[in-house]
Amino acid sequence: MAPVITSIEDLRVLAKRRVPRMFYDYADAGAWTESTYHANEADLARILLRQRVAVDISARTLASTMVGEPVGMPVALAPVGLTGMQRADGEILAARAAAAAGIPFTLSTMSICSIEDLAENTSRPFWFQLYVMRDRDFLGRLLDRAKNVGCSTLMLTLDLQVLGQRHKDVKNGLTTPPRLTFTNLVDIAAKPRWWIGMLGTKRRGFGNIIGHAKGVRDMRTLSSWTAEQFDPTLNWDDVKRIRDRWGGKLILKGILDVEDAELAVASGADALVVSNHGGRQLDGAMSAIAALAPIARAVAGRIEVLMDGGIRSGQDVLRALALGAKGVLIGRAYIYGLAAGGEKGVTQALDIIRKELDVTMALCGLNDVNKADAQVLAGRAQLAVP
């Protein structure tokens, strides 16, 4: 009998069963001790909601905007590398589920499906996430490619000039596609949904890079590629140059500090994402939710503030909105759905989050998601907020 799914955690458990270990671990991993990864969720869970009663809550709405784009709820799918290794054609499946839910999908530079391929197979314009590479010709071509297929918004990631070490990836010898060692074969053999899907698709390498970056015909490890290609000289002048070169909406992702948030405002970007990369980069950094309120207060009204890191429920979405976010990005929460059940699984994840958000708003006496503020919070138990 198919298991009854009631939470993102249920989808995570299924994902773990259905996806080869190296790819499950890739998603479900933080850097080093994983303290920041776990703090993202734990700090959210400590924020108490304020129960209100006898309020007319019959006219609830979750509709909002993110970076000027109408959204069915203030949630976007975050860029996640190797999404097409969680499930064959994963980026296409997730983008379709996002389009059906009326929310944005963000394609990672390090995706399996290429920009053009995704555009051909989906209808709603998606957002494109950019890593800054040393090869500026390649970088320029990536921007042109995204523009040519009608990407509405560019999301520039600033917190990954070098890759934080994720012990699980090192131990698993993560490669794309996986090396067919004895251990991997035994693991993959036990995940038939996964390998049957993979045999039926041509999308198995880094689609945006192989055949596009000079001299790259084969590229198996994310760690060797980032070490060779990601630009450690990236600075705020580059950000401004990319803003001018792109000419469209720009979101800066990876801001965790008020001073950096001020620099983000000065750069002329449209939005910033308060983020520690899901705890995958600087282990020991504060949780994203702890960083959110001081940043939102400091830049209020001058730049749109989004947030990601640790969102696993509609309740978490409301907590982030209450602390000043205009919307959130979810990564693992939809990846677990994708790995568990493909497009249907992502839809299930989004339905779970939407329903939790709606019911939580109702029980907090809130009708309009855009009016969520500190009034919906009962208190915050000892968050490490500076």
Q: Which is nearer to ligand GLV, 96 or 277 (CB)?
A: 277
Q: Residue 330 is which amino acid?
A: I
- Residue 348's nearest CA partner among 5, 1, 80 is 5
CB atoms within 10 A of CB 279: 29
The C-alpha atoms of residue 3 and residue 14 are separated, in whole angstroms, by 9
Q: Which is nearer to ligand GLV, 280 or 380 (CB)?
A: 280
Q: Which is nearer to ligand GLV, 49 or 282 (CB)?
A: 282
167 is annotated as an active-site residue: no
Give Cα 383 to chain centroid, integer Å: 23
Dihedrals φ, ψ of 127, to 5°?
A: -90, 150
The C-alpha atoms of residue 134 and residue 209 are separated, in whole angstroms, by 13
Structural tokens at position 33: 């001790």
* x/- map, 344-373, ligand GLV, by CB under 6 A: ------------------------------
Q: Which is nearer to ligand GLV, 114 or 348 (CB)?
A: 114
Q: Closest distance between ligand GLV and the C-beta of residue 28, in Å? A: 12
* DSSP per-residue codes, 313-331: SHHHHHHHHHTT-SEEEES
Q: Closest distance between ligand GLV and the C-beta of residue 207, in Å? A: 14
Number of amino acids touching ligand GLV (CB under 6 A): 4
β-strands 47-49, 249-255 pairing: unpaired
Is residue 277 a contact point for ligand GLV (CB under 6 A)? yes
Q: Which of 87, 280, 319, 380 binds ligand GLV (CB under 6 A)?
A: 280
Structural tokens at position 221: 């490890």
The SS3 assignment for 161 reads coil
Q: Which is nearer to ligand GLV, 62 or 163 (CB)?
A: 163
Is residue 332 a contact point for ligand GLV (CB under 6 A)? no
Residues contacting 186, CB < 8 A, separation 6+: none
The C-alpha atoms of residue 18 and residue 188 are separated, in whole angstroms, by 9
Residues contacting 100, CB < 8 A, separation 6+: 347
Q: Which is nearer to ligand GLV, 229 or 347 (CB)?
A: 229
* DSSP per-residue codes, 283-306: TTSPPHHHHHHHHHHHHTTTSEEE
Q: Closest distance between ligand GLV and the C-beta of residue 263, in Å? A: 22
- Looking at 38, 167, 212, 277, which residue is catalytic? 277
The C-alpha atoms of residue 316 and residue 308 are separated, in whole angstroms, by 10
Is residue 81 a contact point for ligand GLV (CB under 6 A)? yes
The C-alpha atoms of residue 17 and residue 19 are separated, in whole angstroms, by 6
The C-alpha atoms of residue 256 and residue 244 are separated, in whole angstroms, by 24
Q: Closest distance between ligand GLV and the C-beta of residue 169, in Å? A: 8
* x/- map, 105-144, ligand GLV, by CB under 6 A: -----x----------------------------------
Q: Which is nearer to ligand GLV, 110 or 261 (CB)?
A: 110
Length of the chain counted residue by residue: 386
Residue whose Cβ sits closest to ligand GLV = 81
User: CB-hemisphere CA count at 13 Å for 326?
Assistant: 21
Q: Closest distance between ligand GLV and the C-beta of residue 176, in Å? A: 11
Q: Which is nearer to ligand GLV, 243 or 253 (CB)?
A: 253
Sign, CA torsion 215/166/350/17? positive
State the residues that interact with ligand GLV by CB under 6 A: 81, 110, 277, 280
Which residues carry out catalysis?
Answer: 277
